[in-house]
Amino acid sequence: MTDRITLTGIRATGHHGVYDAERRDGQEFIADVVLGMSLRAAAASDDVADTVHYGEFAEEVAAILSGDPVDLIETVAERIADAALRHPLVETVAVTIHKPSAPIAVPFGDVSVTIERERGAS
């Protein structure tokens, strides 16, 4: 699949983490999402119904970032991938979750996880 919709830097405050302070205080999480799909129909019709409305999908992502707390950002990434694959046109998805304020004892710029999923793969 060579066609993609890419959303970078979707931000929301969430309460994910294994430590009590992370759950209590929350912190900013950032998501980058790449949707792999054919954009031919949308290009030909010039109709948003023939693609994934990226504004609406960004809101879905933000809702997951700020939604029900989990311990791991890996789980957050999986939830976003699942949401992407519920869109019938999406064939593949890559999700990166950044946790720039992770409780790490040494100086660092960012920590992130990236997962890639495809329709029909287990």
Dihedral-angle region of residue 120 (phi above 0 means left; psi in -120 to 50 means alpha; beta otherwise): left
User: Is residue 6 flagged as an active site residue?
Assistant: no
Cα distance from N-terminal residue to C-terminal residue, the chain: 19
Spatial contact of 94 and 78, defined as CB atoms under 8 Å apart: no
99, 102, 107, 118: the catalytic one is 99
Instruction: Please give the structure tokens belonging to residue 71.
Output: 């311990």
The set of catalytic residues is: 99
